[in-house]
Amino acid sequence: MKNKHHMNKAKQPLTDLETKVLETFIFNLYAEPGFSDVSPQDLALETNIPMKSLRGILGSLTKKNIIHIEDKKYMGTDSDIIYLQEDYFYLHPEWSTY
């Protein structure tokens, strides 16, 4: 993917699967910083990673404080939404100036 060189700048080491999921997630984010409509289901479809495995990867990225996930019951949406933590906006080519 075109963002791969940005993932090498992550503040901590990422596994290959974490990198794949993070790259796919960032590729699907809006151009406007901080906004997202990307769900775990979207990432499962795009990466071909089974949801059970994907949840573990998302949990790891959350523990590393790279992403956070808003629960659908608080969002009023049909699915959870994943957000990039502000400290990692620099990984997004269009958000890196914020």
- Strands 81-84 and 67-70, by their bridges, are antiparallel
pTM for the whole structure: 0.85
Tell me the pLDDT tens digit for each residue of 41-70: 999 999 999 999 999 999 999 999 999 999
Are 51 and 41 a contacting pair, CB within 8 Å?
yes
Q: Is the pLDDT at 74 greater than 90, yes or no?
A: no
Other CB atoms within 10 A of residue 17 CB:
16
Encode pLDDT of 88-97 as tens digits.
999 998 888 7
